[in-house]
Amino acid sequence: MKPYQQIPIAECNEPLVPIPVEYFAFETPHPYQKLGAPYHNSKADSPYYLRQGVVGSLIAAQKHLQQDYPDWKILIFDAYRPVEVQQFMVDYTFAEIAKAQGCKFPISEDQKQEILEKVYQFWAVPSLDRAIPPPHSTGAALDVSLVNKNQQPIDMGSAIDEISERSYPDYFSNSNESQQQEYHRHRQILKNAMLAAGFQQHPNEWWHFCLGDQMWAWLTNQQQKTSQVIARYGRC
């Protein structure tokens, strides 16, 4: 169990709503749908759904971004993710790592545990336990980046979902190389816009932000030791 999963959830029953297309750019076709992820059993008819209050905050983040970068948009890579899709992506990532390492099947128990350790550093366990939902399955977490006025991606120095230390938000912060300093600056622009709207950032992923779920509550409580908050969004 990860530390944030100990946070209690007081479900507010806010609905999932579509992310409005007029404010944002979208990763299309959706990367996990291309792989065959099972969204057809989902409560939402696309991955681009969030809780209603989270959508409102996301619009606020976009407006904050445009104060300094009027032609830029937040790029929505992924949002609501049913547990079935979470399981699919964990299995897919496991298989990709095993293949890259040249593992022979059946994989030994030691190799399996070693690979799962890498997978779960970046992917939440696809649990059906309502007390410990995967963050994206709450409709309160999303993966985002930035695009410029020509809809071209802003280079963040690593791809979303890359399983390496380069994914850590501050990985390039102490670099003396100008290109890497630029990557860090881009990450900070995204982070500042999202945090200004009330989101929290995943400690290991520059692209993952959340608001109102267990991770958000846990991160918020790390910053304000006085009053403690709990999660208001559980699994959809």
Catalytic residues: 205
Q: Which candidate, 149, 133, 172, places its Cα nearest to that of 73?
A: 149
Cα dihedral sign, 47-24-161-95:
positive
Cα 169 from Cα 191, distance rounded (Å):
9
CA distances from 140 to 28, 80, 91, 185 (A): 21, 8, 23, 26
Contact 234, 51 (CB under 8 A): no
Give the span between the Cα atoms of 208 and 227, in whole angstroms.
25
Cα separation, 65 vs 62, whole angstroms:
5
| Structure letter (DSSP) for residue 50 | E
